[in-house]
Amino acid sequence: MTKVAVLGAAGQIGSPLSLLLKMSPLVSELSLYDIVHAPGVAIDLNHIDTPSKVSGFLPDNDGLKKALTGAGIVVIPAGIARKPGMTRDDLFKINAGVIRGLVTSIASTCPNAFVLIITNPVNSTLPIAVETLKKHGVYNAAKVFGVTTLDVIRASTFVSQALNLHDPKGLKIPVVGGHSGATILPLFSQSKPAVTLTHEQRDAVTYRVQFGGDEIVQAKAGAGSATTCMAYAGFRFVNSILKATSGEIGIIEETYLYLPGILGGKEIAAELGVDYFAVPVELGRTGAVKAYPIGSLSGYEAKLLKVAVQELKGNVSKGVQFATAL
């Protein structure tokens, strides 16, 4: 049983994610922190008839410290989200500082917690989190991840839609790389079971996985980006960690992480030429226990990989520079 803290809990992702966490029997306590409304969201959730207790905190009266004390998992969807015309990178200016501030408090209050970064641009905000924890001497590579689960969910969903398959969950399609545009690399050639896509279908579905977030940003016309599906994706990832730390074996999720700290990761990073990359990761009681190579790629995927790595390098160094500048 684990205490989970959600930072940015009153937001469009934070609230439905907190609802899903309130439903989980593996969560003993839920603490919600936001610069606005968190106590109200907490009281609302506390009327649900599941055993976990929910508390809400604002910045005053040491609220962040109280929210983090004793947390085993901290999930962070705090910051600003995209509006039409914005890329994830446009969020950097504000969200970089938000992540650095929140992770600094994690370092001093619950340094052994899992830290899951949802806040965009994940390609850069995860390196900020990692460097901030390193700076405070509490970085544990097995426990700090950028959440890319939505890309994985989109890959199986969009292929299922393209091929008129009944249940997207029946497909396992690895999605590796980063979490924005061309850095997202769905590996349809490795789908289990295998799928046959025409070149047109492959191009269209790849584009949809890479830029699917834009469909939502445009449809919401200024009112937000992916939120409910992201809460679902975020919950899937947190739940995988909860299950793995409770002893369930064989749990593998793709996640964006600092590879050199994980068994098998150093070799993958050396081969790719970049230290941060989403790959399939085996989760165990102590966190990430093994990183798996991205496997054999089709010619089409190999071309996309080069583009992804190139763009990702810039995103990573932007985050590292920000975090190490002070």
Catalytic residue among 37, 47, 166, 179: 179
CB-based contacts of 47: which residues, under 8 Å, 6+ apart? none
Q: How many CB atoms lie within 10 A of CB 279?
A: 24
Q: Considering the complex, what minimum distance in angstroms separates the CB of residue 116 from ligand NAI?
A: 9
Residue type, 131: E
In which element (H, E) is residue 242 found?
helix 228-245
* Residue 179 designated active-site: yes
In 227-322, DSSP assigns E strands to: 251-258, 276-284, 287-291
Q: Give the residue with the Cβ less far from ligand NAI, 10 or 42.
A: 10
The CA distance from 74 to 238, in Å, is 9
Q: Give the residue with the Cβ less far from ligand NAI, 153 or 195.
A: 153
Q: Give the residue with the Cβ less far from ligand NAI, 58 or 197.
A: 58
Which residues of this protein are in contact with ligand NAI, per CB under 6 A? 7-8, 10-14, 33-36, 77-82, 91, 95, 98, 101-102, 118-120, 122, 147, 150, 179, 224-227, 230
Q: Considering the complex, what minimum distance in angstroms separates the CB of residue 76 from ligand NAI?
A: 8
Residue type, 64: L
214 annotated ligand-binding residue: no
CB-nearest residue to ligand NAI = 11
140 annotated ligand-binding residue: no
Q: Considering the complex, what minimum distance in angstroms separates the CB of residue 173 from ligand NAI?
A: 16
Residue that is written with structure tokens 């649900």 in the block:
48
Q: Does residue 174 have a cis bond before it (omega within 30 degrees)?
A: no
96 annotated ligand-binding residue: no
CB-based contacts of 117: which residues, under 8 Å, 6+ apart? 76, 99, 125, 126, 129, 144, 145, 146, 147
Nearest to 5 by CA among 49, 81, 39, 56: 56
119 annotated ligand-binding residue: yes
230 annotated ligand-binding residue: yes
Q: Considering the complex, what minimum distance in angstroms separates the CB of residue 305 from ligand NAI?
A: 20
Q: Give the residue with the Cβ less far from ligand NAI, 195 or 316.
A: 316
Instruction: Mark the binding-site residues for substrate, compressed into ranges.
Output: 82, 88, 120, 154
Report, as residue numbers or ranges, the catalytic residues: 179
